[in-house]
Structure 1
Amino acid sequence: MALKKVIAICQSGGNFETGKDDSMSYIGGEAYAIDLDAQSQLSHFKEELAEMFQYNVDSLSVKYFLPGNRKTLITISRDKDLQRMVNFFEESGQVELFILSKEGTSQDVVNAPLISSSRANTEGMNISHEILNIAEADGTTDIEMDTANGLTRSLVVSGTTDDNCRNIVMQWENIITGVDQRFSDFTEFRDALHKYSIAHGFTYKFIKNESQRVAVKCKAEGCPWRIWASMVSGTQLFCIKKMNSTHTCEGAAVKAKHRVARDWVGNIIKEKLKVSPNYKTRDIVGDIKREYGIELNYSQAYRAKGRAREKLHGSYRKAYSQLPLFCEKIVETNPGSVATFTTKEDSSFQRLFVSFYASISGFRQGCRPLIFLDYTPLNSKYKGMLLSATAADGNDAFFPLAFAVVDEESDENWHWFLSHLKDVASTSQRITFVADFQKGLVEALREIFGGGAFHGYCLHHIAEKLNKDLKEPFSYEARRLMVQDLYAAARASKLDAFERCTESMKAISPEAYNWVIRSEPDHWATAFFGGARYGHISSDFGRPFYSWVSDAKELPITQMVDSLRGKLMELFYKRRIDSSQWETKLTLSMEEKLKNEISKAHSLQVTHLHDSTFEVRSESVDIVNIEHWDCSCKSWQITGLPCCHAVALIKLLDRSPYDYCFRYFTAESYRATYSESINPIPNVEGTVMSEPTETAFIVTPPPTKSPSPKVGKRRKQDGTFDIIRRTLQCSKCKGLGHNKRACRLVILKQLHFKIYIKVFIPAKMPNPRTCYKLIRYMH
């Protein structure tokens, strides 16, 4: 049997107008006809509308009027709504649809003109704050309504404007029409009731509040306004059975306190969260107040934000239960990837490790054996930490290799992360790690990688520890110079240069000098370090990756991982396409560096010593061994590119400098790094995956924890820690570490003065000269 079709007249671009009988008509715009049937899907229908009217599909809203009712717009938000609409108009065979877009306010119903003045005079409407009620909301919002001369006036509270109030009226004034109006469920009815009370400026209370029937009355004493509604038998529909729409409370000064529902606020901010995942709670408070004239406290907005996130991205708890299937899907869609997790004895989540095959293959084919280890806290409902391992590609840009979500930063979790990292980062060369020097991490690297890796301490952490351990109070300038000398000592490629820097530090503070000598410089100073850091001294090389985490860290765990996967997919694709257009032999950044060395090599003099060893003279004398790719300036070994001394020799031998660059910097190796693609994971949207079966392994969320007491380190624009802060200096004794109020000398003088006043003055009043001396002594 063929499905019966309904012709949908889709209109957009016009405006709604309200007549004297409160019925609405649509004026202007353009219209198209589309066939619909009971099996039509809303997503496909919206895509067709978006293409037709040139709208963004996510911003579309489809509305229609029920037969015989031109006062209430019904929203189509799911497939069932679309099917219900087709059934309503099956006999007539035609329906009017109104296509609204949030991108353009001229097409929205909120722009319909305000209700007529005659109606305003009779009803004496007032615009109030939102009147909503939910048990979990803590704060309350005062509502004050007021009328003057029987005319409608918008309530102006703390900057709330008339336009804001008009928006509320035009959206919600006709949301409840009367007897036989149907709602999809009780929640929709209650939401409509809240909005209706706002638009008409009254408060209400439930006389009966049951799951299948409710009775509501106006809270004003003696007012006859009532609604009786109940569930339609055998369905989830909620229908208004009786309604008395008459109010006798106009002109009465009504004051009440109500709680604001997080459901309603959540529905409003949900779309904004979709566009801006880091939508701040304080911004929610300001936006709701500015746009709707409703004041929320911080806790109300925070709870509403949490509810909106769950509606938008799915349940945080459910995301943990879907981890087993989620990891299977990662490996299934990206063969060769590693996605594994562990739980505690009570099945609560402990840690998750993810490394995509494209990252594994890219690291082995074109990245230097250099890995940066770091961590960042997560601000999701269940907190936790994200451990990351990033590498450096041939263009000196960050390359995400692997990451792990763990319940906390601990020695055990670092050991587990590095154990899995060893499997994905296996290479024939010794790997250099740049990381913190905390005890657990040092021991884990030594135990897992043994002699097959070097551990370079992050210099930012070294500088921070130095500044913290200095016992003597130093001025801001002295500390700044000491840290400056520390960085210079770390970058010095020769022993004599390192010693000059440390001696300079010793002149400021012997204590600081002794600390540096005892701080294992063979792990952070270039002159002693055995590995190859290629000039990188900080573990925060992967800061762009941490910005991705910052954008996604409040999402449920599976959504967060998939968000990072999406960023990786875009990154690999973009760099693969960009590099395909390069015409240089080296990557762009390395090509620029080599050209700079070539330009400096023109004025250098080269003298042959013996075999493959040559002497190159400039301001200094350097020895170059062309066979071993070695120069006494150490720049060639450190950077992987021939220095100007080596270039001068290579030119003399009529060879190409490109033949003496490390292979990681060639455009060919770079393209191999990004040759593999990262594929999407299907069914990861909203709830991410289907419900697990009864036999599936269930993962529960970790216990909720208080926010980490660790304070984020402030970074300067150059990426260094802002660890040097100005030291207090007393304006009296010129000492450091305290101000005038805490100065011991001043306190001692005050004490002497008090003793003199109590002991000597009762016996004999001092003369004016003595008083003058005392005053000068005090100051």
Structure 2
Amino acid sequence: MEVRVIAKCTYKSETIIFSVSSESSMVERASAKPLLSNEWETYIHHVGQKFDGGAEEFRLKLCKYALEVGFNFLYAGNDKKRWLLFVRIRNWRVAAGVFMLLVVKLLAVLIRAKPELKPVEIIHEFKDYYGIDISYYHAWFGKELAKLDVHGDESKSFNELVWYADAVKETNTGSLCTLDCEAGINRFRRFFVSFGGCIAGFQYCIPLLFIDATFLKSKYKGQLLCASGKNGNQGFYPLAFGVVDSETEENWTWFLQHLASILLPMGRVVTFFSDRNQEFDIKVPEVRCAYAVTEEEFKVAMEELRSLCQRIFQRMRYGEMANSLAESFNNWVGVFRDLPVLPLIEGIRQKLMVLNSQRRIEAEKWTTVLCPEMETRLCENAEAGRTWAVRRSNCTVFEVFADYSVMVDLEQRTCSCRLWQI
């Protein structure tokens, strides 16, 4: 498209004199701040300038140029080769339709990097980086249009899940990816995914799974169910997640059944942690000893628990007392909770890929036998015990003298200080 400049437009504000001190004033400091919009005044610069992007590029650059230079233009008409505009210098403002187009285009860049931005934050971003004042309506509606431009129609996003499930199974060997829809009407109900690499890696993680759910903020809402483990370096390890319409007993049962199909072939005993939400409690029986109010009641409840799982009772203990790791996953994926279902799932996949790649590169630099976090703990314990005196009783029982003496049984994994039993 060719643009002919009939009359060059320049606008200079009147000179205003302030009485300031000899020290650096706020006006002087603020005027030195560069804006992302400073280059806009160079977008239209000579007669015969061509725009490779056609009419859309011309409209966008004209709007930016008008905002930066300071004039208003009115659309008068056009043909296949020309646009006719009237330009007004005083009391200028940009036409609403063209201004909204500019807001959407600028927001599209922001939304890709920060999809969780609120309208109030968008208003501040525009003021700080472009020197433009926009209304709450422009910020809110512009964000909705930008999301549509970046991620597409949210309702159509569900239609692509069938293709996505097949693509995951084809490109990620060993993955479990299931889409469940209502029979007859094919309306979305739930989606489960666990990538093959995550399944393979979990076999080398601590046999603990932290279960939790977090609500989604997109147009159709819903819940994100997640199951995360903990690796040898004490970092969280996402194993599986699912998108469901609501957090119900039926949806939790469906999620856990798919989780069981992953865990059972491993042949490992896995302990589950949850935040005791009502729907999940239905699937897991209550442990009385956790709610005992007297020492006697606790001992009775503990013996009942011991009799039910005597073999497991003697196994490894990991010192986990809370479900905070699941909250770490919720915060980790929080940036995607505003997105449609497919960009949400794909965003988590990409972040998982980057996380695993970074951990692999970091692990290649390790030189210790154990993971660095556990090696550090072991060294700290060894340093703390350098002044302790140890007396052997038999092959597995020792008496340790520090501020006071305690009996340690390595075979039973017990200590008279009771700390090992926690």
1-structure distance, mates of 2:48, 2:255: 61
Q: Match for 1:317: what amino acid?
A: S
Match of 1:662 in 2: none
The equivalent position to 1:405 in structure 2, one of 232, 240, 243, is 243
**1:493-513 residue CA offsets vs partner (Å, 9 max, x unmatched):** xxxxx95xx9xxxxxxxxxxx
| Conservation of the 8 A alpha-carbon contact between 1:260 and 1:296 | no
Match of 2:71 in 1: 201
| Conservation of the 8 A alpha-carbon contact between 1:155 and 1:165 | no
1-structure distance, mates of 2:225, 2:15: 51
Is residue 2:232 matched to residue 1:384?
A: no
Q: Pick closer, same or farther for the CA change 1:165–1:565 going to 2, 3 Å.
A: closer
Secondary structure in 1 aligned to 2:190? strand
| Conservation of the 8 A alpha-carbon contact between 1:164 and 1:293 | yes
1-structure distance, mates of 2:219, 2:303: 41
Q: Match for 1:430: what amino acid?
A: V
The equivalent position to 2:78 in structure 1, one of 199, 207, 229, is 229
The equivalent position to 1:574 in structure 2, one of 352, 355, 358, is 358
Match of 2:389 in 1: 604
1-structure distance, mates of 2:130, 2:45: 17
1-structure distance, mates of 2:85, 2:322: 72
Q: Match for 1:548: what amino acid?
A: W
The equivalent position to 1:549 in structure 2, one of 306, 326, 333, is 333
| Conservation of the 8 A alpha-carbon contact between 1:363 and 1:425 | no
**1:196 Cα offset (Å):** 7.1
**1:385 Cα offset (Å):** 1.9
Q: Match for 1:583: what amino acid?
A: T
Is residue 2:178 matched to residue 1:308?
A: no
Q: Pick closer, same or farther for the CA change 1:401–1:287 going to 2, 3 Å.
A: closer
Percent identity over the alignment?
Answer: 28
The equivalent position to 1:240 in structure 2, one of 67, 82, 87, is 82
The equivalent position to 2:196 in structure 1, one of 354, 357, 363, is 357
Matches within 5 A, 1:490-639: 534-599=318-383, 600=385, 602-608=387-393, 612-636=396-420
| Conservation of the 8 A alpha-carbon contact between 1:331 and 1:337 | yes
1-structure distance, mates of 2:213, 2:268: 25
**1:286-345 residue CA offsets vs partner (Å, 9 max, x unmatched):** 333455554322232122112222322333233211101111111111110111122235
1-structure distance, mates of 2:52, 2:357: 50
**1:404 Cα offset (Å):** 1.1
Secondary structure in 2 aligned to 1:239? coil
Match of 2:24 in 1: none
| Conservation of the 8 A alpha-carbon contact between 1:378 and 1:386 | yes
Secondary structure in 1 aligned to 2:193? strand
Match of 2:206 in 1: 368
**1:592-613 residue CA offsets vs partner (Å, 9 max, x unmatched):** 22233334165234252x6754
1-structure distance, mates of 2:368, 2:288: 32
Match of 1:264 in 2: 102
Matches within 5 A, 1:150-549: 152-153=12-13, 167=38, 170-171=41-42, 184=54, 191=60, 201-202=71-72, 204=74, 216=75, 227-230=76-79, 238-240=80-82, 243=84, 261-289=99-127, 294-345=132-183, 346-364=185-203, 366-426=204-264, 427-446=266-285, 534-549=318-333
1-structure distance, mates of 2:382, 2:92: 83
Q: Pick closer, same or farther for the CA change 1:177–1:229 going to 2, 3 Å.
A: farther
1-structure distance, mates of 2:51, 2:378: 76
2-structure distance, mates of 1:154, 1:417: 67
| Conservation of the 8 A alpha-carbon contact between 2:247 and 2:279 | no
Q: Match for 2:109: what amino acid?
A: E
2-structure distance, mates of 1:260, 1:533: 64
2-structure distance, mates of 1:456, 1:567: 39
**1:430 Cα offset (Å):** 3.0
Q: Pick closer, same or farther for the CA change 1:521–1:315 going to 2, 3 Å.
A: farther
**1:636 Cα offset (Å):** 4.5
2-structure distance, mates of 1:303, 1:536: 45
**1:43-66 residue CA offsets vs partner (Å, 9 max, x unmatched):** xxxxxxxxxxxxxxxxxxxxxx96
**1:441 Cα offset (Å):** 0.7
Q: Match for 1:240: what amino acid?
A: R
Matches within 5 A, 1:109-120: none
**1:614 Cα offset (Å):** 4.4
| Conservation of the 8 A alpha-carbon contact between 1:378 and 1:384 | yes
| Conservation of the 8 A alpha-carbon contact between 2:66 and 2:94 | no
Q: Match for 2:156: what amino acid?
A: K
| Conservation of the 8 A alpha-carbon contact between 1:263 and 1:307 | no
1-structure distance, mates of 2:339, 2:102: 21
1-structure distance, mates of 2:175, 2:94: 59
Secondary structure in 1 aligned to 2:82? strand
Q: Pick closer, same or farther for the CA change 1:307–1:618 going to 2, 3 Å.
A: same
CA radius of gyration, larger in:
1
Q: Pick closer, same or farther for the CA change 1:228–1:425 going to 2, 3 Å.
A: same
Listed as ranges, the gaps of 5+ residues in structure 2 are: 17-26, 306-311
Q: Match for 2:77: what amino acid?
A: W
1-structure distance, mates of 2:153, 2:342: 10
2-structure distance, mates of 1:155, 1:327: 64
Q: Pick closer, same or farther for the CA change 1:320–1:166 going to 2, 3 Å.
A: closer
**1:267 Cα offset (Å):** 0.5
| Conservation of the 8 A alpha-carbon contact between 1:372 and 1:435 | yes
**1:400 Cα offset (Å):** 1.1
Secondary structure in 2 aligned to 1:574? helix
Instruction: Using structure 1 for the length normalisation, give the TM-score.
Output: 0.44
**1:74-114 residue CA offsets vs partner (Å, 9 max, x unmatched):** xxxxxxxxxxxxxxxxxxxxxxxxxxxxxxxxxxxxxxxxx
Match of 1:508 in 2: none
2-structure distance, mates of 1:396, 1:277: 29
Q: Match for 2:388: what amino acid?
A: S
Q: Pick closer, same or farther for the CA change 1:239–1:580 going to 2, 3 Å.
A: same
Secondary structure in 2 aligned to 1:310? helix
Listed as ranges, the gaps of 5+ residues in structure 1 are: 1-64, 73-114, 127-151, 205-215, 217-226, 231-237, 447-453, 463-485, 490-497, 503-513, 524-528, 639-779
1-structure distance, mates of 2:404, 2:152: 66
| Conservation of the 8 A alpha-carbon contact between 1:182 and 1:240 | no
Q: Match for 1:239: what amino acid?
A: K
**1:633 Cα offset (Å):** 4.0
Q: Pick closer, same or farther for the CA change 1:521–1:540 going to 2, 3 Å.
A: farther
Q: Match for 1:603: what amino acid?
A: W
Q: Pick closer, same or farther for the CA change 1:635–1:315 going to 2, 3 Å.
A: same
| Conservation of the 8 A alpha-carbon contact between 1:354 and 1:402 | yes
Q: Pick closer, same or farther for the CA change 1:537–1:521 going to 2, 3 Å.
A: farther
1-structure distance, mates of 2:36, 2:352: 45
2-structure distance, mates of 1:590, 1:532: 16
| Conservation of the 8 A alpha-carbon contact between 1:341 and 1:352 | yes
